[in-house]
Chains A and B, each alone.
Chain A
């Protein structure tokens, strides 16, 4: 149950206007993907991190770049590779030969929005360094600790198809991502619109030459919202009402993931917290000041699926995690295993 705070009530209408402006700005560059935009906003408003699973070329980077420019956020992108070092992300101390002293060179993690592209291609120590920074929101370089900027959001991506030469994120590290969204290919109509827009991009003159314009060139530099708007939205999320009934729904789902015979590893309490936070943000995005079961059903897959592991028997039977989760959600109102005396 949400508790009333001493802060003044935020202007929900203004927050909705801000959200609509951001979504419209993103829509001018990225076609379709409304659900992904919603998930990114949810992560942004709740201070969580998001893992995007999808094949290359479905506008993951473009989406993050567009979002960062729409809200005036400092954006950084790191392409994860096998030879990446933790210092390449976090930063390091470098020797200034003039003064013969060390000074800190901050890494790309010091951004509001960090895109960790293909996170599963880096060695576990790099993944661990990033995920630890994500959790603690501070970085230690040499003997000095630095707080990461606020807001701070990591958008990590991984390709679910190509697994050769990758290091799968362990369950404990996956658990740190509040959301794991699986991107799909666009519907035909949207894909046609993508192609049509690309045809209209033209070329860009540069000094004495020219280069073909990309979608990145089309992103407007003028933001539609400020960081203050974002902070207001974050505060508004915390004022969204959560009923006891909704809490019971969440607890019931978590409990079922732990008791289902096909599931070897159920959801942690952190999964429940993530589901609750995300539901609040979704309620706000949909213009409500209270959460409803629709939020839970819409977000369950993104919040819970990457935290569940099936048993070997279930895998051998060809069952999938999403199938089992859907069974759990459907079973919420379905017949229990209890029996009645006729």
Chain B
């Protein structure tokens, strides 16, 4: 009576399970099946058996046993694995719960030939040597392009930039002044440049500006120039000035450091 109640409970639990699904020829596992009474084993399979199964694992479970059953469906359909079991001692199996499985067909119902194999592009194997050669040649071409194709032609080289010297800046301003075309804003620059010329000529570059101009004042030639510039550019009432005589020495100046 007690065994029967256990069987009913187990049967109800197993029946509540969803059937294990697989396709024809593919093995599947039904774990944790508890069957009452003595131990079970698969019945002998024949050539006509639609399902072949084996018990992977079994252990005691109270008065019952717990099984892990692996099965392989050979024909499509719904099966009860319990019908493929028998007790080891060949005694009556009694009321076993159903162990439902479903074996599905991969082929159509009336298809007798296997499915066509799909063509798969195999991965590229080999060819490393060729790849290395290709990359090497591309690198060499790039190097040659840098060395030769993109090299600037000697005749078309851009001019090397160099800072303007004081003499470079002074010449055009003096030229404009001699031609009477020097704009008022250029007077200040002309004066600064002439001061710089004389600072360099008298090696006063490292003296302070205040000391330098004081030294220039007492120099014969520089002092005369500064006084003339004062009269021309700064005095309230301008005295007559021979601009040509004043600026002509600086019209073709090339090296501001050389003494006139």
A9 CA to B169 CA, complexed, in Å: 41
Residue B112 lies at the interface, judged by CB distance under 8 Å to chain A: no
Write the chain B residue with the least CB distance to A246: B234
Cβ proximity bits B155-175 to A, threshold 8 Å, 1 near / 0 not: 000011111111011000000
Write the chain A residue with the least CB distance to B209: A329
A291 CA to B234 CA, complexed, in Å: 7
Interface pair B163/A248, CB less than 8 Å apart: no
Known: A248-B185, A330-B205, A339-B164. A241 touches B235 (CB 8 A): yes
Interface pair A243/B214, CB less than 8 Å apart: no
Interface pair A338/B164, CB less than 8 Å apart: yes
Q: Which one, A244, A297, A337, contacts B163 given CB within 8 A?
A: A337
Interface pair B213/A297, CB less than 8 Å apart: yes
Interface pair A339/B210, CB less than 8 Å apart: no
Cβ proximity bits A287-325 to B, threshold 8 Å, 1 near / 0 not: 001111110011011000000000000000000000000
Chain A nearest CB from B238 CB (Å) reads 10
Q: Which one, B160, B165, B187, B230, contacts A248 given CB within 8 A?
A: B187
Known: A339-B163, A342-B162. A326 touches B209 (CB 8 A): yes
A246 CA to B232 CA, complexed, in Å: 12
Residue A249 lies at the interface, judged by CB distance under 8 Å to chain B: yes
List which B164-193 residues lie within 8 A (CB) of chain A: 164-166, 168-169, 184-185, 187-189, 191-193
Residue A196 lies at the interface, judged by CB distance under 8 Å to chain B: no
A204 CA to B199 CA, complexed, in Å: 54
Residue B134 lies at the interface, judged by CB distance under 8 Å to chain A: no
Inter-chain CB contacts under 8 Å: number: 98
Q: Which one, B191, B199, B212, contacts A245 given CB within 8 A?
A: B191
Number of B residues contacting the other chain (C-beta, 8 Å)? 37
Interface pair A342/B196, CB less than 8 Å apart: no
Residues of A with C-beta under 8 A to B24: none
Residue A252 lies at the interface, judged by CB distance under 8 Å to chain B: yes
Residues of B with C-beta under 8 A to A244: 184, 187
Chain B nearest CB from A55 CB (Å) reads 22
Interface pair A293/B163, CB less than 8 Å apart: no
Residue B121 lies at the interface, judged by CB distance under 8 Å to chain A: no
A43 CA to B199 CA, complexed, in Å: 31
Q: List 17 A-B contacts (CB under 8 A).
A: A241-B235, A244-B184, A246-B233, A293-B191, A294-B213, A294-B214, A294-B217, A297-B209, A298-B210, A329-B209, A330-B199, A333-B166, A333-B193, A333-B194, A334-B166, A335-B164, A339-B162
The 7 closest A-B pairs by CB, nearest first: A333-B196, A248-B188, A241-B236, A333-B192, A329-B209, A339-B161, A341-B159
List the interface of chain A (C-beta within 8 A of B): 241, 243-246, 248-249, 252, 289-294, 297-298, 300-301, 326, 329-330, 332-342
Known: A294-B214, A297-B209, A333-B193. 19 other contacts (CB 8 A): A243-B234, A245-B233, A246-B233, A246-B234, A248-B189, A252-B192, A293-B191, A297-B210, A297-B212, A326-B208, A330-B209, A333-B199, A334-B196, A335-B164, A339-B164, A340-B162, A341-B161, A342-B159, A342-B161
